[in-house]
Structure 1
């Protein structure tokens, strides 16, 4: 009897361990029923299932700040804020006018898809925030501000040479600044430079190559307990991995190397990001992962375990290398669930921070003041004078989310539309996109569906107000519909598979253009975006 009882106990314990182990296994990619803050002191990855690529993160007091690349979108360099590394809101942008980088990023050229602002780094030094970043065509730039909301100083170019990326500054205890970056056009050699005293220039002739390997980039520099750590990633035979080298001298020699995490291709290689220490002394890695997914590169938070002086990312294996962790205890307790801004009723006099234009907009062709509580988008001709939305100026966008259920509803007032004008809502990317909108042809207004420039006409709209809607789920398949009363919706157009294009995930956008004459406008009453929240829906 005792043996039978012991066997039952063993079976129960083993089953419990198995179930617990299953809870810690990663979900099938892009099927996360829960994400972010679980409202019970824990979190689940991703902490943000949206396109926040090329992350870097710092802590200043009790506040965490992260930046993400923005490519050709304006304003550039999105800045996020958190109190716990799990719940994030959009705080500001660092580059108000991206034509400071190049005139190719203006609405009248639009010639930087896939390029523009790549990975950067944010630091806090001498009472100011500093942001450095690179563009593959123009070189390295920096800006600084006393307050995270700005104003940010006009961009200053610290290197005007193409072929560099993934940079980071570092200031040593004596105040001397340094700068690290990858010359990808020269075999991915990583160079270390001295910075000028004001941090606004690199000192030419001071550089030294401190590493080189296939795809070596994602650079960060840290000094921890008197040791200099150079963080980077590289491509090995099994995929992209996170690496580190260290030395007692910032110039090296860097003779100690460590792989911090495995390639983990089934998890889309978490690699670009920054490590940060909490108020309690714990360490975390804020990173992106994803490559080719319709929603872009999502944000995850991975605990850091220090082993023999190395920050191993995630669960430490028998080989001493880390693997992804999908859930854990929140770094800071007692904080509320917060998600980045999405919906907008356009009640203010400036655009909310979630919005980014495709390229620098034509400033005189939009307004939040001419009709209070509405966004007015004036129409003007596209660069190609056809229905290619990637050549249409003043498309206003924000990121889409990958959750179980997503819905966008946009309410438009068409009374200001002119002959030839087209306006509506788009799932935007380059070169692939789709859109549902209204075409004004003389006095007749009709629905139209635009699939990568191929237009299909629909029902006639005999009123001045119309609601446009898109719904999608994990599969990234969108179905458009429209309504004339805001309640009853009718499907229009075929289902559309959202796309990853030019290093970017799907975007949600509002557009207005007119290739017949520079005339007409559309007023947007609201943009409502709802999505499945972090916690699992209770039955």
Structure 2
């Protein structure tokens, strides 16, 4: 086993020479190798697990619906998006509702995915809405959703808690790690009921207070007294408990990823006895990445460990490059040295190096991407789609015109003023940053009415956007318009009887994006300016389709197909 892993690491080393940065090539290269990131899209806070020969991964969704996306893989490199956990975010908070849309830069992030007692489990904190968990027999869903309660049975609808991770020990006891960002930004370990429904040393009245050091038995046990501690993960191997966290700022031990290790989950006292709830011992601590001068980490952080059936280990975590693809998941080998996980290639003195290109850990032939084209001909919305906030369910349909996605125009939420980030029912996919990323949409515009606007959008988490839209004026004339963060450039009027319109967005690895449109699907006309795709509010770029009408809620568009082509090899 060690020989296989050593060969793998050496091969990673030689392939890595001269490839010291991210490029427009990523994922499976079709020749037995892969390049990081494994997905050049904003699947932030990835948390992978293995169940048999299958791998699953949860990722953050912030304001999107459904909340928490689930992906599946057979080889740790090729991933397919298979579903979402929180299908109705209104049950969590009405701020997700299509007529409010108040969860930009908040919402659902840093989930933990586990498989325990024959079920899949998700734990997540909604930053303003408390502790939540969900279980499912099938990771595609449906998921049974519960808000976690305190020891008195009160719902833990607290604010400010984040990044939870559950752990079930061999003795039947269960635990949950979580962090509390703010002036006292520390990590805590709670005792949890085995069904995940209660925190046994939590009191809602105590935990709803902000910016204090929480006290056992009403606020768990302080185990990570290092400022900006988050990204919690718990593992057990060879008798050791590993409590992993990152530190986001320099205030504590310094920005980076840390492993706290002990033979006891609450640490070890100076006399060798185990630490206890409310009276923890100490942990051996190692940093697993080396900090450089830039505001990034030398290795991807905020992720999770995963093993293969043959005993090899890997680390999937996000790289904070902050391009249009946001925080992207990367795959690195893990070498266990004296029961410490060393992440990356060329392990030396407890550290590994970033690996940009390497052989695939598990041979496979099928290449798949989590985002892609759709002809809307199955009767069900493909799992790769998401909505910006919770959609109005009665204002879209796949059945009213089979083979088409129908979107009805609603008013936005700004009293008639144009504002893209207040448009309900924007449906989208993540942008995949590549050497070439081209999306073309064919839509039937024959049922658009006065005041209605519709089009193709590139946007992030509530800060910046660009649009190619068709708008119908008061005379019923239809005109093409480009808009970039509020700056508008008007194009040509369309023929009065034009039924179908083709819209295209093109971008390269340099994040420069342009729009074109066509009346016949063959001859495309450029419109507008070059736009710089970017991330905002911790979200990478997304590309989607929208329609709205601020005069009256009338009109609709029918989307025939959405063609998504990337060149990443």
Please report the TM-score for the alignment, with normalisation by the length of structure 1: 0.92
- Quote how far apart the aligned CAs of 1:267 are: 9.5
Q: Are the counterparts in 2 of residues 407 and 470 from structure 1 also a CA contact under 8 Å?
A: yes
Give 1:483-502 correspondences, 5 Å limit.
Answer: 483-502=518-537
Q: 1:241 aligns with which of 256, 265, 280?
A: 256
Q: Are the counterparts in 2 of residues 438 and 446 from structure 1 also a CA contact under 8 Å?
A: yes
Match of 2:138 in 1: 147
Q: Quick one: distance in 1 between partners of 2:143 and 2:13?
A: 47
Q: Quick one: distance in 1 between partners of 2:466 and 2:417?
A: 15
Match of 1:364 in 2: 394
User: What SS does the aligned partner of 2:394 have?
Assistant: helix
Q: Quick one: distance in 1 between partners of 2:283 and 2:105?
A: 36
Match of 1:394 in 2: 425
Match of 1:194 in 2: 191
Q: 1:225 aligns with which of 238, 241, 247?
A: 238
Match of 1:263 in 2: 291
Q: Are the counterparts in 2 of residues 76 and 98 from structure 1 also a CA contact under 8 Å?
A: yes
Q: Are the counterparts in 1 of residues 405 and 559 from structure 2 also a CA contact under 8 Å?
A: yes
- Quote how far apart the aligned CAs of 1:22 are: 7.4
Q: Could you give the per-residue CA deviations for residues 54-84 of structure 1, whole angstroms, max 9, x where no partner exists?
A: 1101000000000000000001101000011
Please give the root-mean-square deviation of Cα atoms over the aligned residues, in Å.
1.9
Match of 1:452 in 2: 485
Q: State yes or no: 1:421 paired with 2:452.
A: yes
Q: Quick one: distance in 1 between partners of 2:507 and 2:104?
A: 25
Give 1:293-332 correspondences, 5 Å limit.
Answer: 293-332=323-362
- Quote how far apart the aligned CAs of 1:239 are: 6.2
Q: Are the counterparts in 2 of residues 24 and 325 from structure 1 also a CA contact under 8 Å?
A: yes
Q: Are the counterparts in 2 of residues 95 and 155 from structure 1 also a CA contact under 8 Å?
A: no
Please report the TM-score for the alignment, with normalisation by the length of structure 2: 0.87
User: What SS does the aligned partner of 2:529 have?
Assistant: coil
Q: Could you give the per-residue CA deviations for residues 308-367 of structure 1, whole angstroms, max 9, x where no partner exists?
A: 110011135543222212222322123422221311111122210111000000111111
Q: Could you give the per-residue CA deviations for residues 354-411 of structure 1, whole angstroms, max 9, x where no partner exists?
A: 1100000011111111111111110011111222110110100110011101111111
Match of 1:115 in 2: 106
Gaps of 5+ in 2: 1-10, 150-155, 203-216, 268-280
Match of 1:433 in 2: 465
Q: Quick one: distance in 1 between partners of 2:465 and 2:287?
A: 39
User: What SS does the aligned partner of 2:554 have?
Assistant: coil
Q: State yes or no: 1:377 paired with 2:377.
A: no
User: How many residues were matched structurally?
Assistant: 515
User: What SS does the aligned partner of 1:508 have?
Assistant: strand
Q: Are the counterparts in 1 of residues 431 and 541 from structure 2 also a CA contact under 8 Å?
A: yes
Structure 1 residues 196 and 22, CA gap change in structure 2 (3 angstroms): closer
Gaps of 5+ in 1: 1-18
Give 1:63-82 correspondences, 5 Å limit.
Answer: 63-82=54-73
Give 1:340-359 correspondences, 5 Å limit.
Answer: 340-359=370-389
Q: Are the counterparts in 1 of residues 305 and 314 from structure 2 also a CA contact under 8 Å?
A: yes
User: What SS does the aligned partner of 1:290 have?
Assistant: strand
Q: Quick one: distance in 2 between partners of 1:126 and 1:318?
A: 38
- Quote how far apart the aligned CAs of 1:29 are: 4.3
User: What SS does the aligned partner of 1:403 have?
Assistant: coil
- Which range moved further: 198-207 or 128-137? 198-207
Match of 2:5 in 1: none
